[in-house]
Amino acid sequence: MPSERVIKVGILGATGTVGQRFIVLLSNNPRFEIHTLGASDRSAGRLYPHAANWKLSEKLPNNVTTLHVKRCVPEDFVGCDIIFSEKSFMEANFPVFSNAKNYRMYDTVPLVIPTANPEHFAVVGQQRKEFNLNRGFIITNSNCSVTGTAVVLKALQLSFGPIKKAMVTTMQAISGAGYPGVASLDIMDNVVPFIGGEEEKIEKELAKILGAVSSDNLTIQSDSQLVVSASCNRVPVIDGHTSSVSIEFASDEKPSIDQIKVCLSEYRTMAQQLGCHSAPEQAIIVFEEEDRPQPRLDRMKDNGMAVSIGRIRECPMLDFKFTILIHNTILGAAGASILNAEIAAETGLI
């Protein structure tokens, strides 16, 4: 695809929390232009500002104030080059970038965090064959709670070989539950030590993201050596998932803490090499302060597209432990889909 053509975008679930974030993130994108917004039948036909209960502190971008919401059916999205989020649009031959959980673990569906494993796009050819498509496909991004850990572990894996064990305890923001989501009576002055299905997602998705594409590009093989144990908690934080993580490398030759810091700081990804608009300046930001990263101070680093890490230290039980932070509705959701699409555009998939 000629790199200069404007790409027309359709967004499903456009009135929800993640949909609103998509709209803000795309408002200044030089390459992507919002063409169609879809939502529930109840919203269809109404002007977007009337249909959406706008909950972001960022202003509603001008370019959507005059758009009418459409139904989420392929015939209402004719003219869109790509579709953001879920459903049966792939089968209607649209390129789909999905933040939904449904297809993530399917063998020929890439589960891609753009600053971790975009090489998994390689199975799209096989996927098209299976579904008999020439233009459409589906690329998913991961659950927000796994995103930060996946990027860090991928960077470490590239430099120091496979990870054998990862113990992950999350402290997740309320915006991860959408709107209205978490009741204030449930979370003020409180911690909720359970988020349905989340621990299982971390344990499975992490293995797939750190896995490899088979040499014939036919399938993605999850990392079967990796043992992951996750404990997920909701805390009274608006945006930003923080995790305490301990890991063990498979190899007996362990890197030093300084080597780890250098590896993470210097980590460069395909998204940056391609010069994608939404790529973070640094995929991983390493903090030296003993009490960072913190969600309120650090979640917007590099426009919410960077992973922040700090407190890298030895673990008395495994090899190393540290604190990881990401912005759950940007790199953890809408931002990942958008950067995946930018990579796909730059590499000719669209």
Residues that bind a copy of itself (CB under 8 A): 17, 55-57, 59, 165, 167, 169, 171, 174-175, 179-194, 203, 227-229, 231, 233, 235-238, 242, 244, 246, 290-301, 310-311, 315-318, 321, 323
| Residues tagged active-site | 144, 241
- Indicate the residue among 187 and 262 with the shorter CB distance to a copy of itself: 187
Q: Are 308 and 176 in contact (CB under 8 A)?
A: no
Structure tokens at 137: 């496909």
CA–CA distance from 131 to each of 99, 219, 275 (Å)?
A: 20, 14, 31
> DSSP letters of 191-237?
-B---TTHHHHHHHHHHHHTSEE-TTSS-EE--TT-EEEEEEEE-S-
> DSSP letters of 261-316?
HHHHHT---HHHHTT-TT--S-SEEE--STT---HHHHTTGGGGTSEEEEEEEE-S
- Indicate the residue among 91 and 248 with the shorter CB distance to a copy of itself: 248
- Indicate the residue among 112 and 309 with the shorter CB distance to a copy of itself: 309
- Indicate the residue among 7 and 167 with the shorter CB distance to a copy of itself: 167
- Indicate the residue among 138 and 226 with the shorter CB distance to a copy of itself: 226
Structure tokens at 251: 């190899």
Smallest separation, CB 108 to a copy of itself (Å): 26
- Closest to 303 (Cα-Cα) out of 336, 348, 259, 265: 336
DSSP 330: I
d(CA 247, CA 36): 43
Sequence-distant (≥ 6) Cβ neighbours of residue 97 within 8 angstroms? 82, 83, 84, 85, 138, 139, 140, 141, 337, 338, 340, 341, 344
Smallest separation, CB 141 to a copy of itself (Å): 22
Smallest separation, CB 58 to a copy of itself (Å): 8
Smallest separation, CB 37 to a copy of itself (Å): 21
Smallest separation, CB 267 to a copy of itself (Å): 20
Q: Is 79 buried (19+), middle (13-18) or exposed (0-12) by CB count in 10 A?
A: exposed
Q: Which residues pair with 94 in a beta bridge?
A: none
Smallest separation, CB 314 to a copy of itself (Å): 9
- Indicate the residue among 242 and 340 with the shorter CB distance to a copy of itself: 242
Structure tokens at 335: 């931002």
